[in-house]
Amino acid sequence: MNKRIYNFSAGPSCIPKEVLKQIKKESACWKKSNVSVMEISHRSETFLEISNELHENIRKTLNIPKNYEILLLHGGARGMFSAIPLNLFQKKEVVDYVIGGYWSNYAYREASRYCSANAIYINTKTKDNKKIDLIPISEWKLSNSKYLHLCHNETVEGIKIDLSNDEIFKKKIVIADFSSSILSEPLNISNFGLIYASSQKNIGISGIALVIIRKDLVKESCQVFTPSILNFFLQTKHHSLYNTPNTFSWYVSTLIFRWIMKNGGLQKIKINNQKKSNLLYDTLDKSHLYINDINPKYRSTTNVTFRIHEKGLNEKFIELSEKSGFLFLRGHRVMKGMRASIYNSMPFEGVKKLSNFMKDFENQYFPKRKFF
């Protein structure tokens, strides 16, 4: 097959070509061991090498200070929706949950089972009623809670909270879901009490929930019915090996971190990601056919959502894009329309080709005003 395929899936998502090649090379026989990486014990010296490299490179790449613990857990980000309140909050404790979209709403609903979650809805409309807008942080209706939970990048809607004004970090211990934006740009970890992310976007394949937690928040006491597997204290004590981890997922992540470092680290990755999202949003903004519904200030750099105002054309777009080698552009069932997820592994070339395809499609099916 010669045609180049570009995978715009929101997760599990595309993996760099070099990493796939390396997996293929090593999958039958890992480092002269005569067995595949999937067959070695998680207690073996060989696996410890993987684990040590992974922990070291996570710390290096994200510039994680010494007073933070790295945990690699089961259960994905949804698992952490339960683990966080169970480990950190008291049963009746009030905790602010910022709701900007689909995933933060689920985090709030799950937390409500274990604490007194206070919903802060931040989704609104721009003054002209045309776009989805976010209420700025300075206007959030905060309670006097110690903790605040937010989702940095709403994968479904394609919305990103701007955290560059760090006032909120002075008021609260901030806990953030970074599932779809982790490793897309440098982060000031010290601002947060805890950040977490599931692995199937920028960290590798599914199977890991990465948790970066300030050490003083890892306490022996937690809500009584907390399953041991979700217990941060126990998992810290066992270096995330309380039970058998998803060894293959850990291995793939070591390759992803090597790839990130080889490609200049997060500063370079950020520039590349901006280039990709700028091109796509520029294509949308110059078009008379496609619409992005988000106030440009809050547009996601990793998940670009759009739709076509002529209803039947959305389906036509999906059909033709697939035939042309652009996969998984169908939007989430809640948002409908289209979504191009352009995580780190999506090359600029893929976005450029998608942009050209979109222009051609517009010229062919909506030729009232020519694109060029």
Ligand X SMILES: Cc1ncc(COP(=O)(O)O)c(C=O)c1O
**Which residues form the catalytic set?**
103, 177, 201
Residue 76 within binding range of ligand X, rule CB under 6 A: yes
Sort residue 75 into left (φ over 0), alpha (ψ -120 to 50) or beta: left
Q: Is 214 annotated as a binding residue?
A: no
Is 330:338 a contact under the CB 8 Å cutoff? yes
Q: Mutual orientation of helices 247-262 and 265-286 as an angle, nearest 10°?
A: 80
Residue 78 within binding range of ligand X, rule CB under 6 A: yes
Backbone angles phi, psi at 255, to 5 degrees: -70, -40
Q: Tokens 């005003």, residue?
A: 369
Residue 151 within binding range of ligand X, rule CB under 6 A: yes
* 283 or 344: CB nearest ligand X: 344
Out of 11, 16, 158, 193, point to the residue binding ligand X (CB under 6 A): 11
Residue 179 within binding range of ligand X, rule CB under 6 A: yes
Residue 77 within binding range of ligand X, rule CB under 6 A: yes
Is 212:64 a contact under the CB 8 Å cutoff? yes
Residue 305 within binding range of ligand X, rule CB under 6 A: no
**Cis peptide bond prior to 12, omega within 30° of 0:** yes
Residue 177 within binding range of ligand X, rule CB under 6 A: yes
Residue 326 within binding range of ligand X, rule CB under 6 A: no
Residue 344 within binding range of ligand X, rule CB under 6 A: no
Q: Is 243 annotated as a binding residue?
A: yes
**Residue with the closest Cβ to ligand X?**
76
Q: Is 59 annotated as a binding residue?
A: no
* 177 or 293: CB nearest ligand X: 177
Burial of 115 (0-12, 13-18, 19+ CB in 10 A): buried
Which residue in 114, 74, 62 sits closest to 240, CA to CA?
74
Binding segment for ligand X (CB under 6 A), chosen from 21-29, 177-185, 216-224, 340-348, is: 177-185
CA atoms of 131 and 134, how far apart (whole Å): 10
The distance of closest approach from Cβ of residue 4 to ligand X in the complex, given in angstroms and rounded to an integer, is 26
Binding segment for ligand X (CB under 6 A), chosen from 84-92, 126-134, 174-182, 286-294, is: 174-182
The helix (H) or strand (E) run that includes residue 363 is helix 348-365
183-242 residues near ligand X, rule: CB under 6 A: 198
* 76 or 245: CB nearest ligand X: 76
CA atoms of 147 and 170, how far apart (whole Å): 11
Residue 155 within binding range of ligand X, rule CB under 6 A: yes
* 19 or 205: CB nearest ligand X: 205
Residue 109 within binding range of ligand X, rule CB under 6 A: no
Within the chain, what is the greatest distance between any pair of CA atoms?
A: 66
x-or-dash string of contact with ligand X, 125-144, rule CB under 6 A: --------------------
Binding segment for ligand X (CB under 6 A), chosen from 72-80, 164-172, 222-230, 270-278, is: 72-80
Which residue in 38, 60, 35 sits closest to 261, CA to CA?
60
Q: 15 CB contacts (<8 Å, ≥6 apart)? A: 204, 205, 252, 256, 345
Residue 69 within binding range of ligand X, rule CB under 6 A: no
Binding segment for ligand X (CB under 6 A), chosen from 29-37, 70-78, 261-269, 356-364, is: 70-78
Q: Is 77 annotated as a binding residue?
A: yes
Rounded to 5°, angle at Cα 302 from 301 and 306: 85
Residue 7 within binding range of ligand X, rule CB under 6 A: no
CA atoms of 57 and 142, how far apart (whole Å): 36
Out of 9, 13, 82, 180, point to the residue binding ligand X (CB under 6 A): 180
* 247 or 283: CB nearest ligand X: 247
Q: 244-273 in b/e burial notation, b at 16+ Cβ within 10 A? A: ebbbbbbbbbbbbbbbbeeeebbeebbebb
Q: 174-194 in b/e burial notation, b at 16+ Cβ within 10 A? A: bbbbbbbbbbbeebebeebbb
- Known binding-site residues equal 43, 77-78, 103, 155, 177, 200, 243-244
The residues that touch ligand X, with contacts defined as CB under 6 A, are: 11, 76-78, 103, 151, 155, 177, 179-180, 198
- Known binding-site residues for L-glutamate equal 43
